[in-house]
């Protein structure tokens, strides 16, 4: 039986427990309820094992992704250093173009806007400064106000959720 079917049947049996019935029927119902509860426990054990397997696999994949990300970052850093070294070597030797069997290399000037370096922001005149304003929601203050019984337009307290602990 599926977890859904077991839950439905166990819930139905528990709801029937409040009705009056003969001792024979009650005994049979208790026996059937015990069997369904045992099947439910077995199914729950299987679910918990699968949950733990998924969590373990997810953690292993996350750690592997972190390892691969670090390797990719190291490769990018090496490529940047090698590109810089080759550019400096070509500039030092006056070589604007190099043709190899596999690559065509050339030194080119960057396009786009001329770079600006700001060495002292405090020394800049006001006309070159843009005011920055931002706000964020203070959820702690909202929670405190709502818990004191105040009404806060646009906010409500929600009941705490539930979680399943696996040990």
The pLDDT value recorded for residue 10 is 83
pLDDT of residue 134: 92
Q: What is the pLDDT of residue 123?
A: 92
In whole angstroms, give the CA distance from residue 16 to residue 8. Answer: 12
List per-block mean pLDDT (blocks of 10 residues) for the chain, which spans 167 residues: 86 77 78 87 93 97 98 97 94 94 92 90 92 93 94 92 75
pLDDT tens-digit profile of 35-51? Answer: 888 998 999 999 999 99
pTM: 0.60
According to the model, what pLDDT value does residue 61 have?
Answer: 98
For the purposes of burial, counting CB atoms within 10 Å of the CB of 54, is it exposed (0-12), middle (13-18) or buried (19 or more)? exposed
């Amino acid at each position: 039986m599926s977890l859904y079917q077991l839950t439905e049947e166990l819930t139905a049996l528990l709801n029937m427990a409040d009705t009056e019935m003969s001792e024979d029927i009650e005994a049979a119902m208790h026996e059937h309820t015990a069997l369904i509860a045992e099947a439910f426990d077995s199914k729950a054990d299987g679910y918990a094992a699968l949950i733990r397997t998924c969590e373990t696999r997810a953690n292993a994949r996350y750690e592997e992704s972190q390892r691969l990300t670090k390797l990719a970052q190291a490769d990018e850093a090496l490529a940047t250093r090698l590109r810089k070294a080759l550019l400096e070597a070509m500039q030092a030797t006056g070589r604007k173009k190099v043709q190899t069997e596999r690559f065509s290399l050339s030194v080119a000037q960057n396009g786009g806007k001329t770079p600006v370096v700001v060495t002292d922001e405090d020394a800049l005149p006001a006309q070159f400064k843009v005011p920055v304003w931002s706000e964020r929601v203070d959820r702690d203050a909202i929670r405190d106000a709502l818990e004191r019984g105040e009404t806060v337009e646009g906010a409500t307290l929600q009941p705490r959720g539930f979680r399943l602990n696996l040990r």
